[in-house]
Structure 1
């Protein structure tokens, strides 16, 4: 079991990413995703200290289980925390009821998944990713990955992989292990083509599915303006100017920059799904509308002619 083709729902936003999201808003976002035909949902314990898993599980509880695919992640184990305060230092507007502990050991992977299944209200998930093992490569490859292989053989999970914001280690997973799918966030977008150099060719060669996250690079490609964020920090002037040029070209061809950004990610043959993070029903509907918008070949050509895309990009 891998991920459905098309648009997927990234569930970090409904767990209060940067600003609070109510239960009603979160439920409405998931309901809108279902209404628009989205059948792949991605979550993680990291998102809102388990809140994303709880909210997503509750919103999908009455949906036919064989009609959707759900992925979660391991590598950050949650431990109770009684110190009070909030979790905004880690990006989530939720009470700091737990603390995250990096743990890619075999025992940690199993315990983290068991806790995630309980929060989701499920007895199995379709995909499990090792989550951001950047600084824990030895433990992830030596213990975490074999633990996922065992869980897959036991039928607790359908597919296994890794999810990261870099391509080098994901390429290593693709070449050196038997992963089914990898989640690459922010490294294959209109502004960052780095996955083309290693990850995507390797995935094609090995028959590994690629899920793309961060299609808007955390905001800049959704709404390029002064103060917009790129990879969760203020966008450099050079990239803002580049995004504004892309927006101008897209609008000249009767589409939005958001539509071009999503279409770009989806066009590569290795890519099966493009995740969009949404925190409201309105955002879900907008993303679904943009994803369904065809991008004229002339738009890609003008972007190439302007030096904004390489000749290998969509045609």
Structure 2
């Protein structure tokens, strides 16, 4: 599988990568065995870039990912996690929240609470805690996670802390990951991040990243990792009741998605295949991050990713 190196630390990322939100029991429970099957299947199809975060299942995704990767040659894969949310234990095991974390989207016991922390000390504490949960010797890429409402502090305190960790060799590359483009473009202009992770804003339904973020990255020789190519479900299975950005999709977006699906069908291409292929047509995009809950979902994603998409399809879509 094609790979691109991010940053001076030369972190190779495969064109298709595995996102870890689902492995943290996003929305519904997942057994350890099923999660391990998904991670092993990802390795078997050639994926060598894995992304996770403390936020995903209150550390469950990190623990599962670390358990699956610990037996692999360390130089053979790249692992990224994120900083910005500190996990603090709850007294009473989370009984004050009814026992679960579903308010945050994860079907796990609410044993911890998240606290936003983009201070320099918070960054170091977060990295140390992630290393402990992962059980690995290092993190390759550290992203500032969703600093939307903390932009100034993230730039003033958290980013310099990541820069120091990179200089010390604690991490090999640094960046920021968000669901919007404006602040990510600012990080590219005002800091020396190696890459940015943009979720949901460069898809068949939303190309807003092409307005500023992607040109900024290309001009500065930086890379973009693109997540959310299915826009949380609508582009995987467009129908009434499908989700878009983790909420019910408006009828007009469902109609747009169905029209795109019809165009794909005329060219003999599955909609999921086109959704996975689209971002990599831009030279600044290094990898497409796709989530999966099982070995079967990984196999399907890999098959879709390997599908050929004719230029005529892009021409008809006008993108």
Same fold (TM over 0.5): yes
Matched, 1:259 2:268: no
Computed over aligned residues only, the root mean square deviation of the Cα atoms, in angstroms, reads 0.8
Report the counterpart of residue 227 of structure 1 in structure 2: 241
Output the CA distance in 2 between the equivalents of 1:108 and 1:92. Answer: 23
Matched, 1:2 2:11: yes
Report the counterpart of residue 21 of structure 2 in structure 1: 12
Matched, 1:241 2:255: yes
Paired residues in the alignment total: 305
| 1:58-207 alignment runs, 5 A limit | 58-82=67-91, 83-84=94-95, 85-207=99-221
Q: Which moves more between the two structures, 260-269 or 160-169? A: 260-269
Gaps of 5+ in 1: 305-312
SS at 2:166 equivalent: helix
Gaps of 5+ in 2: 1-9
Report the counterpart of residue 45 of structure 1 in structure 2: 54
Deviation at 1:3, TM superposition (A): 4.3
Output the CA distance in 2 between the equivalents of 1:5 and 1:268. Answer: 15
TM-score normalised by the chain length of structure 2: 0.94
2:63 aligned to 54, 57, 82, which one?
A: 54
1:209 aligned to 204, 217, 223, which one?
A: 223
TM-score normalised by the chain length of structure 1: 0.96
Output the CA distance in 1 between the equivalents of 2:79 and 2:118. Answer: 21
Output the CA distance in 1 between the equivalents of 2:65 and 2:280. Answer: 24
Runs (4 or more) in structure 1 with deviation over 6 Å come to: none
Q: Quick check: 2:41–2:299 contact (8 Å CA) kept in 1?
A: yes
Deviation at 1:2, TM superposition (A): 3.4
Q: Structure 1 3/171 Cα, relative in aligned 2: closer, same or farther at 3 Å?
A: farther
Matched, 1:271 2:280: no
Output the CA distance in 1 between the equivalents of 2:15 and 2:247. Answer: 28
Q: Quick check: 1:189–1:265 contact (8 Å CA) kept in 2?
A: yes
SS at 1:288 equivalent: helix
Deviation at 1:41, TM superposition (A): 0.1
Output the CA distance in 2 between the equivalents of 1:139 and 1:222. Answer: 36
Deviation at 1:138, TM superposition (A): 1.4
SS at 1:210 equivalent: strand
Report the counterpart of residue 292 of structure 1 in structure 2: 306
Q: Quick check: 1:129–1:160 contact (8 Å CA) kept in 2?
A: yes
SS at 2:30 equivalent: coil
Q: Quick check: 2:202–2:229 contact (8 Å CA) kept in 1?
A: yes
Q: Quick check: 1:3–1:273 contact (8 Å CA) kept in 2?
A: no
Q: Quick check: 1:105–1:144 contact (8 Å CA) kept in 2?
A: yes
Deviation at 1:213, TM superposition (A): 0.4
Q: Quick check: 1:109–1:147 contact (8 Å CA) kept in 2?
A: yes
Output the CA distance in 2 between the equivalents of 1:22 and 1:259. Answer: 28
| CA deviations over 1:213-233 (Å, ceiling 9, x no partner) | 000000000000110000000
